[in-house]
Chains A and B, each alone.
With several copies, the nearest count.
Chain A
Amino acid sequence: MRITAERTDEDTALCHVTGELDAYTAPDLRDALDEQLDQGVRWIVADLTELTYLDSTGLGILIETAKKCRQAGGDVAVACDRKNLLRIFQISGTHEILNVVKDVGAARERLQELAQERSEGAGGEEAP
């Protein structure tokens, strides 16, 4: 597994995760995401379009990260277009709560929608 994270905005990051995400590689992803959160990121696009393997350990990290982002007023969106991984999101019931969409563009849009909804709802959240 390889991870690269880029800040695309003050509170937004784009993380590309390629290769295989299992209990062996998961700690690296957790560290990378926590580092972003520590630096004030609360909106995260997780680009899993080049990820070839995912199981409950990876899902756990994504869910945990989404919780932390939401606590900070942000959220996570996942870009994924691979049949075998989509199946894992679907049957684990995490497809909606992780905002799984087909590519990075759609994931950015999804986060913008969410920011919009929240600023309308709560009156005051900043758009990513």
Chain B
Amino acid sequence: MGARDANTVELVLPSKPEYLLVARLATSGVGLRAGLSVDDIDDLKVAVAEACTNVISHAFDDNVPPERRMINLRMSTGKGEMTVEVEDEGVGFDPEALQRAQRNGLEGEGGLGFGLMRELTDSLTVESAPGSGTRVIMVKRAAR
């Protein structure tokens, strides 16, 4: 992940559905301090939960022991915006293949997650490759 600064919150969660609530609550708390509106925070909570739900559903093979299945979140604030990184050290995937598939109209079969993340944030970056984990970076700007 990027360099830590004096306005960065780091959160490591077990990759289990019961901890999605904690990810959302942390997003709320940091978002309030970042000066985001309640509506913006609602949007960002869903986007963060989508990224975390993907880690829970897709990132880890059955042979990874539970105590090594983690979701790493990093939330930072600055100049009227909040950035959230959601990272895992799981199986990874090819984001371009996913984009191609969606362009070819296959998105009907699953795949609401990234669509929502894109629509609910001001910027979405997906860094992933098979075998080397995934990092999703989302930016939400305070409406002025």
Contact = CB atoms under 8 A, between A and B. Distances in A.
- Determine direct contact between A and B, CB below 8 Å: yes
A56 interface: yes
B112 A92 contact: yes
B43 A56 contact: no
28 contacts: A22-B24, A22-B49, A22-B53, A23-B49, A23-B53, A23-B56, A23-B57, A24-B17, A24-B18, A55-B53, A55-B116, A56-B50, A56-B112, A56-B113, A56-B116, A57-B53, A59-B112, A60-B112, A83-B39, A84-B42, A84-B46, A87-B42, A87-B43, A88-B116, A91-B115, A91-B119, A91-B120, A92-B115
B49 A55 contact: yes
Shortest Cβ-Cβ A-B pairs, 9 listed? A24-B17, A84-B42, A56-B112, A91-B119, A23-B17, A23-B53, A55-B46, A22-B20, A56-B113
A20 interface: yes
Contacts of A92: 112, 115-116
| Dominant SS among interface residues on chain A | helix
B98 interface: no
Contacts of A22: 17, 20-21, 24, 49, 53
A27 to B, nearest CB: 9
Interface string A114-125: 000000000000
A46 B43 CA distance: 22
Contacts of A83: 39
Given A20-B21, A92-B116, 10 more contacts: A22-B20, A22-B53, A24-B18, A24-B20, A24-B21, A54-B46, A55-B53, A57-B53, A83-B39, A92-B112
Contacts of B24: 22, 53
Contacts of A91: 115-116, 119-120
Contacts of B115: 91-92
